[in-house]
Amino acid sequence: MTRTVLVTGFEPFGGQDVNASWAAVERVAAGWDGPDRLVTLRLPVSFRGARQELRLAVRDHAPDVVVCVGEAGSRAAVGIERVAVNLVDAPIADNDGSRPVDVPVVAGAPAAFFSGLPVRACLAAGLATGRPVEVSTTAGTYVCNATFYALMHLLASRPGVVGGFVHVPRTPEQVGGEGPALSAEASAEVLTAVIRAASASGAATGADRLVAGRLD
């Protein structure tokens, strides 16, 4: 049976012309040769809109694997995120002009969700590409973390669906030599390896299914 993988990136924000996450996702799609069916989606940099569009995509495509990808401007390595926190503390407004501070992503929901990806297997697959990869324990408190948390909250009611979040650095073109960067092609190589490792895992086990401090 053909499995379906949903991979999302984000539109530009903060005055940028491109978003490194979507640039990488586009390259993953261009080089994808199966056997899984790959669906890609560009999300708005919007606390409300990203969550809504992601929910609709999961409903419409019924994916077996969901990997959301965001841009991390201060990083030099692709980061496989381990935990999403139920907190929004926006340093800047989103593309809708919304700037919530100290509010939950989902009211009354658990304080945190751990990634459903097989984090160590994804790390090993990423490192095998020869590109810089790391496990990250913070996805921030902006739209990336909110989307990651919303995804894991959604997938809590969909057992068997593997999901998680990955951050990629900005591209060299974005930073112009002023700060860490990684080419979209290099990020795409890592993402492809991570996606394949996630798909092969079937379902995460052990500590990677820890939810709000307890084993799911």
In this structure, are residues 161 and 63 in contact, taking their beta carbons and an 8 Å threshold? Answer: yes
CA–CA gap between residue 23 and residue 43 (Å, rounded): 13
Contacts of 70 (CB under 8 A, 6+ apart): 9, 10, 21, 139, 143, 144, 147, 148, 165, 166, 167, 168
End-to-end CA distance of the chain: 27
68 is catalytic: no
Q: Which of 81, 122, 153, 189 is catalytic?
A: 81
Nearest by Cα to 66 from 155, 159, 139, 192: 155
Q: Which of 68, 122, 153, 167 is catalytic?
A: 167
Q: Which of 68, 71, 122, 144 is catalytic?
A: 144
167 is catalytic: yes
81 is catalytic: yes
Report the catalytic residues. Answer: 81, 144, 167
